[in-house]
Amino acid sequence: MGHFTRALALARRAAQTGTSCVLLTNSALAEEVNTAALIPQGVSIVAIDPAADRDAVALRVAQEVSKQTWACALVDTFPRGLAGELPPILSGLSIPCILIHRFLCDAYADRPEVLKAAQSFDHIIVPGETAPLENLSHATRTAPWLLLDADELWGPTQARSELDIPDDGVPSVVVVGCGTAPEIQQAEKLASTMSEACGEQAQAHAHVRFVVPSKTWPLLRLLPGVDLLVGQAGYNTVQEARATGTTLIARPRTRLYDRQHGRLSDAEHCFGSDAEGISLVQTLLQSSRASQPCRYENGVHQALRVIRAAIA
């Protein structure tokens, strides 16, 4: 989901400034969420079946690339592609190829073939977080990439209304269900238990809501109405919470390439069991929070400048 969101963030900006984009993705999110309202004219999404195996993915990517009339190719996160299919495909292109280098675990990034593939890109853009190959000479670091600019976010009252939260001054806690099916189920159960623990008679009373991307997306737009966000520690959740000043309570998950534990700073809150999460929420609800207008730098704008310079 994170890869698609990051790619869409860039594509929106590019299309708004006259550059058409094709997003090639195998993310299930591409078909689950209603992107129509967010996608300007000029952005088309080519969806690869999320259930396709590596051979089918590699074949489809090769087919799509062979049809291209692009001015530039961008690859998100995986220098060799998710199926290791890219090196022969990209080597046949005469257009600039740029790697969007989100964090990759050392166990993968250290592989000689991965480093070689990263070095073969014309440019590397690091979207706002430490990444193992960020010190390569052709890498540029930008601020984190966000799907929406600060002025596109809704105000607290409108956001709470959208989340079905009364505008009564009671703090709001939103639990996000994303990731694998068991993880989503676990988040929903946590939200239910948390809602009981933070009921009207509780010392730490809050309105608790459970959201999933297929129904509530993009959540970023509604974060001004969220006092505490309970989620995982993927790229978008963490960067969106930080940018909007939303207190995040994160349950880092195990991923093949990402290291969610490592993304959180010492000052950020994480938990393992549901009981820990609820205890943390109850503690944080009892501390005062001053709401401030959201102002943040969206790294996609700088990234577009880098990309356009590469094409020129």
Can you tell me which of 15, 22, 47, 50 binds another protein, judged by CB under 8 A?
50
Site for another protein contains 84 (CB under 8 A): yes
Quick one: CA torsion of 274, 280, 284, 285, rounded to 10 degrees?
40
Site for another protein contains 26 (CB under 8 A): yes
What is the layout of strands, in order, in the sheet containing 172-176? 207-211, 172-176, 228-231, 247-250, 269-270
Minimum distance between the CB of residue 167 and another protein, rounded to whole angstroms? 37
Quick one: CA torsion of 115, 120, 123, 128, rounded to 10 degrees?
-20
Cβ count within 10 A of residue 252:
19
Can you tell me which of 135, 273, 283, 291 binds another protein, judged by CB under 8 A?
273
Stretch that binds another protein, among 12-20, 60-68, 81-89, 134-142 (CB under 8 A): 81-89
Minimum distance between the CB of residue 237 and another protein, rounded to whole angstroms? 15
Minimum distance between the CB of residue 108 and another protein, rounded to whole angstroms? 5
- Restricted to residues 189-228, the positions that interact with another protein (CB under 8 A) are none
- C-beta closer to another protein: residue 77 or 216: 77
Residue written as token pair 């008679």:
201
User: What are φ and ψ of residue 218, in 5° steps?
Assistant: -80, 135
Can you tell me which of 186, 192, 193, 214 binds another protein, judged by CB under 8 A?
186
Can you tell me which of 5, 25, 35, 77 binds another protein, judged by CB under 8 A?
77
Minimum distance between the CB of residue 78 and another protein, rounded to whole angstroms? 7
Site for another protein contains 82 (CB under 8 A): yes
C-alpha pair distances (Å), 13 with each of 9, 20, 45, 303: 7, 10, 15, 10
* Rounded Cα gap, residues 260 and 309, in angstroms: 32
- Restricted to residues 235-264, the positions that interact with another protein (CB under 8 A) are 252-259, 261-262
Compute the chain's Rg from CA coordinates: 20
Minimum distance between the CB of residue 215 and another protein, rounded to whole angstroms? 21
CA end-to-end span of the chain, whole Å?
A: 31
DSSP letter for each residue of 180-237: SHHHHHHHHHHHHHHHHHTSTTSSS--EEEEE-TTTS--GGGGGGG-SEEEE---HHH
- C-beta closer to another protein: residue 227 or 258: 258
- Residue numbers at the binding site for another protein (CB under 8 A): 2-3, 26, 50, 52-54, 57, 77-78, 80-84, 105-108, 111, 182, 186, 252-259, 261-262, 272-273
